[in-house]
Amino acid sequence: MKLFKSKSGVATDTDGATVAPVTVVRRLEAAAPVRSRKITYDSLGNRLLKVAVVFLCTINALMWEYYTESRMMAIVWTAIAVSFVVWIVQDMRR
């Protein structure tokens, strides 16, 4: 049953019968497509920020290991990078 507006502005169906405005709204809402997975700029920005943190933590861990030969601080920065990777994966699953 297709709905359209006649020249008089009254919503009618294909049979020419007048349809109540509430019915028209409900039919149009029912025909709406399923919600698609939209990526907003806010969520994209948050994800890119997390990726940047992982990148910088990895560089920081490498610098601690290379320049100061402090394995403990390199392990701390590596753990931070790994925890951010886990957070990104969990965020993408939701």
pLDDT, tens digit, 9 for 90 and up, residues 20-45: 555 555 555 555 555 556 667 777 88
Number of domains in the chain: 2
The 10s digit of each residue's pLDDT in 17-26 is: 555 555 555 5
Q: Does the pLDDT of residue 3 top 90, yes or no?
A: no
Q: Greater confidence, 43 or 65?
A: 65
Q: Are residues 53 and 78 in the same domain?
A: yes
Statement: residue 84 has pLDDT above 90: yes
Position 75 confidence tier, pLDDT thresholds 50, 70, 90: very high
User: What's the pLDDT at 30?
Assistant: 53
What's the gap between Cα 52 and its chain centre?
A: 18
The pLDDT score that the predictor gives to residue 73 is 95
Residues 45 and 87 in one domain: yes
Residues 18 and 57 in one domain: no
pLDDT: which is higher, 54 or 34: 54
DSSP secondary structure of 36-83:
P----HHHHHHHHHHHHHHHHHHHHHHHIIIII--HHHHHHHHHHHHH
Domain containing 49: what range?
Answer: 41-93
